[in-house]
Amino acid sequence: MHDVEATFCFVDLAGFSALTEAHGDDAAADLALRFTGLVTETLAEEGRLVKTIGDAALVVSPSPSPGIRFVSRLWRRAAEEPDFPVLRAGLHHGEAVERGDDVFGSAVNLAARVAAEARGGQVLATARVGDAACRSGVSVTPLGAVTFRNVREPVDLFQLDFGLGGMAEVIDPVCRMRIASDSAPARLHLDGIDYWFCSTRCLGLFASDPGAYRRATV
């Protein structure tokens, strides 16, 4: 028997492993704490923070609409943070079991899978959340059905766009940090493409194997 019907949202820092490699464990831990603080400050009455796991946070909202509002505000807050990586998120509405302060079940697992499917900066959702976003005026793009391991049926996914694409920033291809191109510490022109970096350390890592980081951004 399920204890709760809710919207489950997983949010994490895109490319956190690469960021840790580029900047070290201490810097990565500090950034994860900044991220947790940002999530907590943004939540307001839209839901509750169930737990954090490294660079990921699980938020539960009573229905799709407050979950969508939370993610929209979080995207805007993160865009205003200096030296902060891009985020990615996945939302799914369903039923779960509550044990103490935690939640368990296939709906929670699917939300995590949807988040893992997202690229940096992307917000993905399943059908019920996508429908609610569309009704609230959010730009929604159907992406078609995706097959997840250990999920019986393909799942229709939708991309939510909160209209922040016009911000004049570039993304470090190594650590996924947002930086201003006119003040980036390092830049590389390779094969007709400009790449900007938050540090010479990231430039060096990219130069040692450009193909690996190009593939990671596709």
According to DSSP, residue 85 is labeled B
Beta bridge partners, 186, equal 197
Neighbours of 44 (CB within 10 A): 11
How many helices (H) and strands (E) in the chain? 7, 12
Instruction: Return the minimum-mean-pLDDT range out of 24-38, 105-119, 164-178, 196-210.
Output: 164-178
pLDDT at 34 over 60: yes
Residue bearing the bigger pLDDT, 77 or 18: 77
CB 120 within 8 A of CB 176: yes
Residues with Cβ < 8 Å from 69, sequence gap 6 or more? 46
pLDDT tens digits, 102-136: 999 999 999 999 999 998 888 999 999 999 999 99
pLDDT for position 1: 55
CATH of 4-161 given 3.40.50.2300, 3.30.70.1230, 3.40.50.10490, 3.40.50.970? 3.30.70.1230
d(CA 137, CA 4): 27
Residue whose C-alpha is closest to residue 151's, from 119, 107, 117, 116: 107
How would residue 216 be classed by pLDDT, with cut points 50, 70 and 90? Answer: low
Average pLDDT over residues 88-115: 94
Segments making up each domain of the chain, as ranges: 4-161, 170-217
pLDDT exceeding 90 applies to what percent of the chain? 48
The pLDDT score that the predictor gives to residue 181 is 67
Residue, of 11 and 85, whose pLDDT is higher: 11
Q: Is the pLDDT of residue 163 over 80?
A: no
130 or 177: which leads in pLDDT: 130
100 Ramachandran zone, left/alpha/beta (phi>0; psi -120 to 50): left
Closest CA to 19 of 83, 89, 114, 112: 83
Residue 91: CA atoms inside 13 Å, Cβ hemisphere, count? 32
Q: Are 199 and 19 in contact (CB under 8 A)?
A: no
Per the prediction, the chain carries an average pLDDT of 86
Mean pLDDT (whole number) for 62-71: 96
Q: How far apart are CA 25 and CA 6, in angstroms?
A: 35
What integer pLDDT is reported at residue 167 of this predicted model?
46
* Strongest mean pLDDT among 91-95, 121-125, 146-150: 91-95
- Round to whole Å and give the CA distance between 27 and 25: 6
- Span 195-208, pLDDT tens digits: 888 788 888 888 88
Instruction: Please compute the mean of the pLDDT values over residues 145-165 and round it to a whole number.
Output: 86
